[in-house]
Structure 1
Amino acid sequence: MPTTEYTCVLWDVDGTIADASRGILPRLVAVFESYGLPVPDASSLSLWIGPPMLESFQRLGGMGIDQAAEAVARYRALAAEDGYAAAVDLYEGVPELVRDVHAAGIPQSTASTKPENQVRAILEHYELIDQFEAVSGAASGPEGQHEGKAEVLQRALTRLSAAGVDVSRPVLIGDRHHDIDGAALYDIPVIFVDWGFGEASEAEGSIARVATVDELRELILPEGR
């Protein structure tokens, strides 16, 4: 039986499980150059990782909704050409924790605004797919561009519930304020991880903030398993 107070664990992906920054900036540069626009500075890359791309192309790229939607399509086409798991690294210690949570009998799901086919490709590439009872991300088509954290959380909980998982006491692991804002709609507590791309101020509203995987382990596996 699980030794934690949580009945299931929901994981954000970018900035929490995986660091995709090596691939993101070159694709952003290519998209902006295709429009003849100034390219994002490398120092601002962290602002792009985590939020839905449609939002970022509008808020950070200064695009209108139609151009932003087209830019997302161009970006995703480049990602498909590269291979969704290309230039993606996993944070040290996180795969082992995912496996230990699974071994402890605590069901897990992803809850990422990254397109679901990309999330699945990363987990399959790193042989983590079988550690999750459900894999949930944004829809891979144009409709997915408008989905935020709340929508993917609802999908994750629905799929877990359909699989017979007790979703009465979930916890979300994430690194951006989008995780906390989306989870608040469902009263889901959030543990904020410092190794991602969020600023310290974005942790406001989380139930805990952790700097290391060992600290996270203590919170979701209290006996240190």
Structure 2
Amino acid sequence: MSRPLRLVLFDVDGTLVDSQGSIIAAMTASFDALSLPVPDRAGILSIVGLSLPQAMAQLVPECSAVDQARLVDGYKQAYHAHRLEQGMASSPLYPGAREVIEALHAIPEMLLGVATGKSQRGLDALIEGHGLQGYFVTRQVADHHPSKPHPSMIDTARAETCVDAVDTVMIGDTRFDMDMAAAAGVTGIGVTWGYHEQPALAAASRIIETFDQLPGALDDIWT
């Protein structure tokens, strides 16, 4: 009897890559352009994972919708410019990420995907820059979905791959990722190397501290 297909979905910022330098630089440039006080580092990292309009609304609820939209546009322009200037040095893979992706991809019944608050353009550039084309069979981005923690990204990834919820796992570093997993009825694995503190990952089924712990965690879940 053949094994069922499994789907492993990864968040990106704070999970696969450490992009905090680019995020903080772009946020600083965006706020500076409107002569607004720049949120502190902790505040900026607290909204990583949300789609940009929701992130700005949470950072500066006192600002008008027009100014929030201007902040979003400014952030996109600054982030793109920073990526062009820095290349992949702006978003390096976390230690062990590539090795684990390659190992999981080599398992016939294992399908890999991405569920991220990044734009399609940003995700595609990141995947190409790191030479990860061909590893992710489904790519869910902010352009096409409500912001996390809405389950739309996971639901769509499952529909595209025809994988049951019980055979799907979401891996992420923020409470938005874990709450999204819970809302979609799939298992959430929280990682401690990202941008939210471990207590924020309360909805996770389990927590890992290094990438090399992921294969064993998946084996435990599906044994």
TM-score (normalizing by structure 2) = 0.85
Q: Distance in 1 between matches of 2:111 and 2:164?
A: 9
Hey, what does 2:132 align to over in structure 1? 128
Q: Which amino acid aligns with 1:135?
A: R
**Partner SS for 1:89:** coil
Using the TM superposition, give the Cα deviation of residue 78 of structure 1 relative to its aligned residue in structure 2, in angstroms.
1.9
Stretch of structure 1 that moved more, 108-117 or 66-75: 66-75
Structure 2 residue 88 is matched with structure 1 residue 90: no
Please say if residues 44 and 59 of structure 2, whose CA atoms lie closer than 8 Å, have aligned partners that are also in contact: no
Q: Distance in 1 between matches of 2:170 and 2:141?
A: 14
Stretch of structure 1 that moved more, 38-47 or 89-98: 38-47
Residue by residue over 1:21-42, the C-alpha shift from the partner in whole angstroms, topping out at 9 and shown as x without a partner, is 1111111111111111111223
**Partner SS for 1:120:** helix
**CA 42–94 in structure 1, closer or farther in 2 if over 3 Å, else same:** same
Using the TM superposition, give the Cα deviation of residue 221 of structure 1 relative to its aligned residue in structure 2, in angstroms.
4.7
Please say if residues 109 and 160 of structure 1, whose CA atoms lie closer than 8 Å, have aligned partners that are also in contact: no
Counterpart selection for 2:205 from 201, 204, 207 = 207
Q: Distance in 2 between matches of 1:2 and 1:121?
A: 36
Please say if residues 58 and 64 of structure 1, whose CA atoms lie closer than 8 Å, have aligned partners that are also in contact: no
**CA 70–148 in structure 1, closer or farther in 2 if over 3 Å, else same:** farther
Please say if residues 9 and 171 of structure 1, whose CA atoms lie closer than 8 Å, have aligned partners that are also in contact: yes
Hey, what does 2:32 align to over in structure 1? 33
Moved over 4 A (4+): none
Q: Which amino acid aligns with 1:213?
A: F
**Partner SS for 2:26:** helix
Hey, what does 1:155 align to over in structure 2? 156
Using the TM superposition, give the Cα deviation of residue 57 of structure 1 relative to its aligned residue in structure 2, in angstroms.
1.3
Using the TM superposition, give the Cα deviation of residue 209 of structure 1 relative to its aligned residue in structure 2, in angstroms.
0.6
Hey, what does 2:193 align to over in structure 1? 195
Q: Which amino acid aligns with 1:75?
A: Y
| Aligned-residue identity in percent | 24
How many equivalent residue pairs?
Answer: 213
Using the TM superposition, give the Cα deviation of residue 43 of structure 1 relative to its aligned residue in structure 2, in angstroms.
4.4
Stretch of structure 1 that moved more, 180-189 or 42-51: 42-51
- Gapped regions of structure 2 (runs ≥ 5): none
Please say if residues 49 and 148 of structure 2, whose CA atoms lie closer than 8 Å, have aligned partners that are also in contact: no
**CA 64–160 in structure 1, closer or farther in 2 if over 3 Å, else same:** farther
Hey, what does 1:72 align to over in structure 2? 72
Using the TM superposition, give the Cα deviation of residue 180 of structure 1 relative to its aligned residue in structure 2, in angstroms.
1.6
Hey, what does 2:107 align to over in structure 1? 104
**CA 126–201 in structure 1, closer or farther in 2 if over 3 Å, else same:** same
Q: Distance in 2 between matches of 1:218 and 1:33?
A: 45
RMSD value over aligned CA atoms? 2.3
**CA 94–203 in structure 1, closer or farther in 2 if over 3 Å, else same:** same
Using the TM superposition, give the Cα deviation of residue 101 of structure 1 relative to its aligned residue in structure 2, in angstroms.
0.4
Residue by residue over 1:145-187, the C-alpha shift from the partner in whole angstroms, topping out at 9 and shown as x without a partner, is x5334232233223323xxxx3441000011111121122220
Q: Distance in 1 between matches of 2:106 and 2:115?
A: 20
- Gapped regions of structure 1 (runs ≥ 5): none
Please say if residues 192 and 208 of structure 1, whose CA atoms lie closer than 8 Å, have aligned partners that are also in contact: yes
Please say if residues 12 and 110 of structure 1, whose CA atoms lie closer than 8 Å, have aligned partners that are also in contact: yes
Q: Distance in 1 between matches of 2:12 and 2:181?
A: 15
Stretch of structure 1 that moved more, 148-157 or 25-34: 148-157
TM-score (normalizing by structure 1) = 0.85
